[in-house]
Amino acid sequence: MIKNKKVIEKNISEKEYMVIKNENGVGTRTVNVKDVLGEDAIKAEALSPEELDTLIERGLKVEKLYGSVQDTEWGFDTDTKEFYFLQSRPITTLEEKKEEKLVTLCKGLPASPGIGRGKVKLIKDISEINLVEEGDVLVTAMTNPDMVPAMRKCAGVVTDEGGRTCHAAIVSRELQIPCIVGAKNATKSLKTGDTVTVDAVRGIVYDGEVLKEKEEKKTESQSSGPSLGNIDELRHIFAPTTATKIYMNLGEPGLIDKYKNLPMDGIGLMRTEFIFTNMIGAHPMYLVKTGQGDLMVDKLAEGISKVAQAIYPKNLVVRTSDFRTNEFRGLKGGDEVEPIEANPMIGWRGVSRYISPEYEKGFRLECQAIKKVREEYGLTNVIVMLPFVRTPQELKVVKGIMAEEGLVQSKNFKIWIMAEVPAVVLQAEEFAELVDGFSIGSNDLTQLVMGADRDSGILNNMGYFDERNDAVKIALKTIIDAANKKGITCSICGQGPSQYPELAEFLVE
């Protein structure tokens, strides 16, 4: 908008939720926009043409009044329809500059924030992954565990498919790489060799190297700040004290030195899949078949112990492998032993795999690695968490296998399960009798409660995959209530609470 009152750009976001006053006039609550304003309001402009005119007119007036460009907060009163400025302060950082031309090539969901620039490397399948070089922007339909080594080199990642909890999103956040998922036509609109800028804050891929000024200003701001001798110590001093413990998620063992001094109470989810893909590189049953089981035990123990040692005596909750069949097939020897499933997301995974004759020996190697960490290295802060549990009976069977490998549940060795299947919700108290803790896997739980594929960009955009849905919140409360009743630990390791503060508040309450 310039002084002739012409609107030069519009960005209309989809608005699924709104905050309204409670009926008694005290406090507010969050409601669905469609329930109050109707379905059309979700994608409609928030301001009417008349309200926009008023905003422009008052904005120019306050700028003239104070003699400088202003940063304002404003609102329209629902009852009186009057416009009010709530706050106004001068912007002192504006400079005369040549306007940068931004050419949008494709859009998607911002999954790992940041801005990255580089040449596009279009990868159609895993056979081409070796083409990725340092500083490239990886563009593909969807990533898989075999692509992680290449992703480490990338300045950015863009995928056609996926939502904010898909493989590309999770790994990129772990590696702190800008990532956009669900871009639909990225593999068609972006060509190998193109120079692009991945704006994973807004979810847009631009032509050329742009937006440099934003990063330059950020760097200048950071460098001009006070020099702090021990920033980690200050973090702990100024971090708020919470009655609810704060655990973090971790996948890549090599990153623990970077995060170990954060004000956290432990690690509530360590994904072992990174160790399999980066340190072991082969399917467990291939290693069993070729007599290389000790390699897996040693490498897995090495990765786990690195993290456990760094945060000792804080708890490290290690989730045993939760590869799906399509992901396991990508490991060396995996294509010989893994079936092809139509829907791997709800297929042969988690505990059902551990108790199967086709994989039991592989799971025993995982148990041996954890026993080595606890007994040989003395890192007794390691807790085991079992993923994708479906029935109490299979839980009893897998605990029996663990006991045979020397991992006997006791006050000194605790066993948790992921609460991510609706069956666990419906039998929460029965499961609570068998374990020492629940960790709510809200990504899979939301997917299964809502019947919404977590990797579907379409359903993510339509709002179906949302942990704040009432049905999901009922499931969350049921699990928490059962844990409290039976006196066991209950945590959450899904994406929701870090994205929606109101969900974190709901969980704590």
pLDDT tens for 173-187 read 888 899 999 888 999
pLDDT at 228: 40
Residue 300 has pLDDT above 60, yes or no: yes
For 176-214, give the secondary structure using H, E and C: CCCEEECCCCHHHHCCCCCEEEEECCCCEEEECCCCHHH
Residue 204 has pLDDT above 50, yes or no: yes
Nearest to 404 by CA among 371, 375, 434, 437: 371
Q: At CA 469, angle to CA 466 and CA 470, rounded to 5?
A: 165
Check if 493 is active-site: yes
Check if 167 is active-site: yes
pLDDT at 1: 46
Domains located in the chain, CATH noted? 17-90 (3.30.470.20), 104-207 (3.50.30.10), 239-508 (3.20.20.60)
Residue 444 in tokens: 């899979």
In this predicted model, what pLDDT tens digit does every residue of 38-48 receive, in sequence order?
888 888 888 88
In this predicted model, what pLDDT tens digit does every residue of 303-338 receive, in sequence order?
999 999 999 999 999 999 998 898 888 889 998 889
Question: What burial letters (b/e) apply to 182-197, b meaning 16+ CB within 10 Å?
Answer: bbbebbeebeeebebb
In this predicted model, what pLDDT tens digit does every residue of 113-133 receive, in sequence order?
899 999 999 999 888 888 999
Report the distance separating Cα 252 and Cα 221, nearest Å. 30
User: 16-20, 240-244, 486-490 — which one is most confidently predicted on average?
Assistant: 486-490
Residue pointed to by tokens 């631009």: 206
Q: What is the pTM of this model?
A: 0.68
Residue 230 has pLDDT above 90, yes or no: no
Give the active site residue among 106, 167, 179, 283.
167
Half-sphere exposure of 495 (CA within 13 A, CB side): 22
Report the distance separating Cα 4 and Cα 2, nearest Å. 6
Residues 162 and 181: beta-carbon distance below 8 Å: yes
Alpha-carbon torsion, ordered 279, 281, 284, 290, to 10 deg: -110
First to last CA, the chain: 44
Report the distance separating Cα 427 and Cα 431, nearest Å. 6
In this predicted model, what pLDDT tens digit does every residue of 373-386 receive, in sequence order?
999 999 999 999 99
